[in-house]
């Protein structure tokens, strides 16, 4: 069985093609970026509208398959930006009708976890899901992915992106901040907010904005990363001792960051816990994770009728029954 997966929750229009053994046949994407501003939903949606057919074609070419070989069409049904989600949903509906193959709308956040489980072979991890909009500590309990800890204000990726704007870096700022941070040497003391297994970044953001002219970009980025990532590692460590699972998975766009991976790895090693981070090509938004999630749900007998295929902008991860 071959599934084509379409991702368009925010900045990325992605198309992945996966078979039912988990073999990735294609993982193509186009990311809406800016030189020195944030992401505007309408502009990102316009980007998707212009390139969606080309990315589908590109994925078909990389997979070396024809449309008749596709058995299932999966798409990101939510959560995300309405204008962006609609482009992917429309493309998926058209493909499903044209190919006369079942349609399956999946939860984007769950797809970030399941692609990590496929990659790592982990069966029941505690997941630290770090992306632009979302930052959560998740684990499976009583048939759902439950949120054990989460950001009380903004996602860690959004924090990095908005701090990047202060420094004149465009979207996405995470990769550039990582580069600058590697050259930083002096730690600047910054607000550190953690409450039980929850954490927050807006105090950190305000402080950084206020002192941005007083220090080098390198030291600011270094200190920002060390502080924000320490919060994440501390909360995950608390979750480990609380929930008592034996594996930790790092997923989402910010999981591409090598310093965050290093810090998590050190903590897990000390606690004798297995650790895995999703590789950069599958960490940020991508169609492959959507295709794989489609396969998992299809195997479990799920499908999305056309009439139920409307987008769900605020679809929380703990609303979904994990039946696969």
**SS3 category, 213:** coil
Q: Which residue, 98 or 168, has its beta carbon nearer to ligand ATP?
A: 168
Question: Any idea which residue has 């465009």 for tokens?
Answer: 170
Site string for Fe ion, 75-114 (x = CB under 5 A): ----------------------------------------
Q: Of 298, 301, 278, 292, nearest to 6 (Cα)?
A: 292
Bridging pattern class, strands 144-150 and 193-195: unpaired
Residue from 105, 157, 287, 294 in contact with ligand ATP (CB under 6 A): 157
- CA distance from start to end of the chain: 16
From the list 95, 76, 91, 72, the residue with the least C-alpha distance to 11 is: 76
- Position 6 contacts ligand ATP (CB under 6 A): no
Distance CA 112, CA 291 (A): 11
Q: Closest distance between ligand ATP and the C-beta of residue 1, in Å?
A: 26
Sort residue 272 into left (φ over 0), alpha (ψ -120 to 50) or beta: left
Q: CB–CB of 300/324 below 8 Å?
A: yes
Residue with the CB atom nearest ligand ATP in the bound state: 253
Q: Is 285 in the site for ligand ATP (CB under 6 A)?
A: yes
Is 131 near ligand ATP (CB under 6 A)? Answer: yes
Stretch that binds Fe ion, among 16-24, 128-136, 192-200, 242-250 (CB under 5 A): 128-136
Residues 73-92 that bind ligand ATP (CB under 6 A): 80
Contact residue for ligand ATP among 172, 184, 287, 294 (CB under 6 A): 172
Q: How far apart are CB 11 and ligand ATP at their closest, in Å?
A: 6
**What are the C-alpha distances in Å from 318 to residues 2, 107, 139, 286, 305?**
28, 10, 10, 21, 22
Q: Interacting stretch for ligand ATP, rule CB under 6 A, among 63-71, 144-152, 251-259, 263-271?
A: 251-259
Residue given tokens 């605020």 in the structure block: 314
151 near ligand ATP, judged by CB under 6 A:
no
**Residue ranges binding Fe ion (CB under 5 A):** 131, 285
**Residues near ligand ATP, by CB under 6 A:** 9-12, 80, 108-109, 112, 131-134, 155, 157, 160-161, 172-175, 178, 252-254, 256-257, 284-285
């Amino acid at each position: 069985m071959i599934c084509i997966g379409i991702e368009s929750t925010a900045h990325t229009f992605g198309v992945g093609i996966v078979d039912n053994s988990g073999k990735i046949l294609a993982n193509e994407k186009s990311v809406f970026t800016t030189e020195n501003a944030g992401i505007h939903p309408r502009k990102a949606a316009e980007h998707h509208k212009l390139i969606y057919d080309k990315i589908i074609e590109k994925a078909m070419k990389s997979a070396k398959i024809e449309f008749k070989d596709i058995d299932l069409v999966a798409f990101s049904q939510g959560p995300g930006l309405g204008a962006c989600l609609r482009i992917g949903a429309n493309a998926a509906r058209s493909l499903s009708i044209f190919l006369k193959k079942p349609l399956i709308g999946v939860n984007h956040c769950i797809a970030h976890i399941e692609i990590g489980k496929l990659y790592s072979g982990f069966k029941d991890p505690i997941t630290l899901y770090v992306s632009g909009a979302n930052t959560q500590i998740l684990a499976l309990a009583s048939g759902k992915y439950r949120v054990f800890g989460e950001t009380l204000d903004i996602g860690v990726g959004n924090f990095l992106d908005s701090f990047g704007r202060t420094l004149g870096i465009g979207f996405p700022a995470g990769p550039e901040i990582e580069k600058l941070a590697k050259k930083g040497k002096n730690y600047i003391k910054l607000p550190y907010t953690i409450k039980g297994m929850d954490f927050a970044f807006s105090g950190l953001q305000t402080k950084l904005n206020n002192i941005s002219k007083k220090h080098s970009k390198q030291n600011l980025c270094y200190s920002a990363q060390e502080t924000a990532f320490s919060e994440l590692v501390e909360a995950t460590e608390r979750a480990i001792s609380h929930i008592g699972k034996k594996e930790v998975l790092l997923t989402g766009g910010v999981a591409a960051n090598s310093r965050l991976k290093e810090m998590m790895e050190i903590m897990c090693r000390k606690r004798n816990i297995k650790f895995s981070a999703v590789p950069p090509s599958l960490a940020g938004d991508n169609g492959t994770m959507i295709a794989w999630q489609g396969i998992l749900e299809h195997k479990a007998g799920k499908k999305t009728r056309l009439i139920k295929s409307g987008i769900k902008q605020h679809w929380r991860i703990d609303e979904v029954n994990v039946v696969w």
